[in-house]
Structure 1
Amino acid sequence: MTPERIAVGGHSPVANAHFIVTARFFSDFGAFLNMVALSTYVYLLSQSVLHVSLFLACRVAGGVLASLVGVPFFRRFRGRFSLLVFEILRASLLMLLLLLPAHLQLYLLPAVALGVGLGNSMFAIGLNSQLPYWVPESQRVSTNAWLTSLSAMGAVAGSLVAGILLASSGYEAVFLLNIGVCLLAGVCILPLRFLVTPATDSVQSHRQEWRNLRSGLRSAPILAGMLLVTIADTLGSAAHNVGFPILSDLITPASAGESMGQLLAVWAVGKFAGARIANRILCYWSRFPVEWLFFSGVALMSLGFIGTFQQAAIIWALLFVSLAGIGDGLSDVTLISRIQREPEQLRLPVFSLMTLLQQTGFGIGMLIVAPFYIWFTPATVIVIFHGLPLATLIGVAFLIHRTSRS
């Protein structure tokens, strides 16, 4: 259903964009802060890798759950308060770790992981799907570019700050900071006002939503191809995330942690640059096909990671990982911007589907790729798993080209 367009008098769309970008930065900063802190905290309490695996699995399960309930929830509850709820949820769960005794926390942590994963993904689904109501079309690509850029910075900053605080002040300081960051993200959401008032839709059954989604993707085959490439890319992402510590140890055995930090930092800088490049291309060359920029970004990202894992010297690895980051930034901005062009009836289910694909693909991928690092060298493993999105991309491009000619 097409939303009714009503401008909110006296409220600046630029202000909305600033609040959204700031809120997303704090949200992602907090997400990586608690991922590092809680993963190590689980191991500290349990001294068991099994408990760490269970914690991470529950976190992924929270993301999967969000993808399943996100559509009916945001059909019924739209606006800033629906996003604020999930920041309060994350802060409340972390508060429990400060209030409850340590011997109870080990049993609580899987539930905390589930709630945090649910909150992270629901916030992202709600923000991305509702952004067209808050930001006019002329500013949408620019806003998405800043969201992607600062998300990468928030990921690295959250990981680094977590490590520094854990070494200097302990877990309580990290949890307190994390609670404060979640609340700051919520505060930034509060001033948002709709520039476009969405029409009220009836909540449909999951079966009907799925039928509508399939019908919508059949009418948008290029978007369906982009999602197919995204599925394949999650396996590549799982492979290089598992492989980073191994590669760092191979390149610099005496300082593997330092090398891994450098790789992640340079990747984040590359992703920041890629998002800015996407913004410049799509804003100044408005007729440039966003879909082909997405495919180019995925190709550059996969080739960059393949090149990274072939290196024996850190300087060359950093060069290639920066190219991978640029491709990552290009593909993120273009995929989100492309989905936001769809009508609301399709836009929300596609964002939920994308979250489901990314969460399940990444979770399953982490399990699949681990044995490959026993059987093959890291360079070979990355060729295999980043070859999948490249092969999928070529197949999709061929089908699109053949369809367009027929």
Structure 2
Amino acid sequence: MTDAHPDEEIINRSTRNGWLIISARFISDFGAFLNMVALSTYVYVLSQSVMQVSIFLACRVTGGILASLFGVPYFRRFTGRLPLVILDVLRAALLASLLIFPYSVQIYLLPFIALGIGIGNSMFAIGLNSQLPYWVDDSRRVATNAWLTSASATGAVMGSMVSGILLAANGYELVFITNILTYLLAGLSILPLRFLVTPAGVEKKNQRKEWSNLVKGLKTAPLMAGMLLVTMADTLGSAAHNVGFPVISELLTSESPGKTMGLLLAVWAGGKFAGARAANYLLLKRGIRTERLFFYGVALMSLGFILTFQQNAVSLALFFIFFAGTGDGLADVSLISRIQSEVESLRLPIFSLITLLQMTGFGVGMLIVAPFYIWLTPSVVIIIFHGIPLFTLAFVWLYIRRRQRSH
């Protein structure tokens, strides 16, 4: 046996692990968007109440917030593929309850199902992203992250489209069965994963100590802290354009707003796919720093959405939303790759913090943004709320420049 064989085995295992993780992420996100569309409408069908739909969505966001708090102790105590498989089985079991219990009981179960699925979706993403360096070697990490972002965008659009098709053709029961199968398939994709190297044990700390160490770590990494600050500001812009999609679709084509919204989301996802592939090239081939590409991506994304909402023609709106999606893909791959380069003791808390910022910011943002669409035109609302991440980005850039000069 030659000395090259162990290295070759590591490379083969890393490649196999990468494609298994990409497959699991695609299936998981496909399932997440499948049930987001189906369950939201199902709640309304059962209750005939917009308030019940709001409670359902609030429970789902609350689940994501709780996951950011539970994620650190859970994945400190349980590492590897089994905790992720358990999350998939639990999500499938929650949906299976809708096939077991009668309609009269389901309306009371749905908020708890939304909470559980919100926790499961976010915990799955935290565990997968934070442990990826154990499964994929450094040379393939950026490429894997690029494919993960591409798979996520594709899964989101396909899940939304398939959900609508199945609902129109066969009703909710088939959607729930399909969704259960997607979560079980995601779990099966995770099962063959094997660590490249068994992770070294990390000192177990209480939750307060974890967050305290994270704050200390971010003080010594101002660029990483700046990326998190921009990410938090960007959640307000994200809330603004998500609330605004139905509004702008109605203004562009009052006769078929649903079709226009579907086109906008599909082209955005195509842009995100292109951005993820471009990030792979720019980070690996051109050697651009992850922090710089992240800031470029956020700027392109916010400017793209601002320009999209200024248009009166569908063709121009689709043109600009493609660039918004491209920026989203660049920023997503850069941010995840940068966090994964941190030491293990900080990596998991940062991913949990990112989830906390995104879920909290998005939930609060939805509440803040909605009244602005009553008072102002969509074009002005988007300028205001996507102007916030642009302003934050400029502030972080000036602060870092000033800090570098002083040193």
Cα distance between partner residues in 2 of 1:197 and 1:12? 14
Q: Choose 8-17 or 79-88, whichever is displaced more.
A: 8-17
- Aligned position for 1:278: 279
Cα distance between partner residues in 1 of 2:256 and 2:114? 31
- Aligned position for 2:367: 367
Structure 1 residue runs of 4+, over 4 Å off? 6-11
- Aligned position for 2:269: 268
The DSSP-based 3-state class of the residue aligned with 2:249 is helix
Q: How many residues align?
A: 400
Structure 1, residues 157-191: CA drift from partner, whole Å, max 9, x if none?
00000000000000000000000000000000000
* Partner AA of 2:376 in structure 1: F
The answer for unaligned runs of 5 or more in structure 2 is 1-5
Cα distance between partner residues in 2 of 1:67 and 1:386? 25
Alignment of 1:46-195 (within 5 A): 46-195=47-196
Quick one: percent identity of the two aligned structures?
66
- Aligned position for 1:257: 258
Say whether the 8 Å CA contact 1:245–1:256 is kept in structure 2: yes
Cα distance between partner residues in 2 of 1:347 and 1:79? 15
Structure 1, residues 27-66: CA drift from partner, whole Å, max 9, x if none?
0000000000000000000000000000000000100000
2:302 matches 1:302: yes
Cα distance between partner residues in 2 of 1:184 and 1:164? 21
2:372 matches 1:394: no
* Partner AA of 1:45 in structure 2: L
Measured after TM superposition, the shift of residue 289 of structure 1 is 1.4
- Aligned position for 2:31: 30
Say whether the 8 Å CA contact 1:58–1:110 is kept in structure 2: yes
Cα distance between partner residues in 1 of 2:151 and 2:347? 23
Cα distance between partner residues in 1 of 2:42 and 2:320? 33
The DSSP-based 3-state class of the residue aligned with 1:253 is coil
Measured after TM superposition, the shift of residue 303 of structure 1 is 0.2
Measured after TM superposition, the shift of residue 285 of structure 1 is 2.1
Cα distance between partner residues in 2 of 1:7 and 1:20? 21
The DSSP-based 3-state class of the residue aligned with 1:158 is helix
The DSSP-based 3-state class of the residue aligned with 2:194 is coil
Alignment of 1:193-342 (within 5 A): 193-286=194-287, 288-342=288-342
TM-score (norm 2): 0.97
The DSSP-based 3-state class of the residue aligned with 2:192 is coil
Cα distance between partner residues in 2 of 1:215 and 1:291? 20
Cα distance between partner residues in 2 of 1:9 and 1:252? 56
Measured after TM superposition, the shift of residue 345 of structure 1 is 0.1
Alignment of 1:2-41 (within 5 A): 12-41=13-42
Cα distance between partner residues in 1 of 2:185 and 2:102? 27
- Aligned position for 1:349: 349
- Aligned position for 2:382: 382
The DSSP-based 3-state class of the residue aligned with 1:12 is helix
RMSD of aligned Cα (Å)? 1.1
Cα distance between partner residues in 2 of 1:265 and 1:9? 39
Cα distance between partner residues in 2 of 1:266 and 1:127? 27
Say whether the 8 Å CA contact 2:13–2:194 is kept in structure 1: no
Measured after TM superposition, the shift of residue 7 of structure 1 is 8.2
Cα distance between partner residues in 2 of 1:48 and 1:8? 59
Say whether the 8 Å CA contact 1:8–1:194 is kept in structure 2: no
Cα distance between partner residues in 2 of 1:122 and 1:338? 20
Measured after TM superposition, the shift of residue 202 of structure 1 is 3.4
Cα distance between partner residues in 2 of 1:364 and 1:246? 20
* Partner AA of 1:85 in structure 2: I
When residues 7 and 182 of structure 1 are mapped into structure 2, their CA distance, relative to the original with a 3 A threshold, is farther
- Aligned position for 2:358: 358
Measured after TM superposition, the shift of residue 197 of structure 1 is 1.3
The answer for unaligned runs of 5 or more in structure 1 is 1-5
The DSSP-based 3-state class of the residue aligned with 2:255 is helix
Measured after TM superposition, the shift of residue 196 of structure 1 is 2.1
* Partner AA of 1:134 in structure 2: W
* Partner AA of 2:310 in structure 1: Q
The DSSP-based 3-state class of the residue aligned with 1:202 is coil
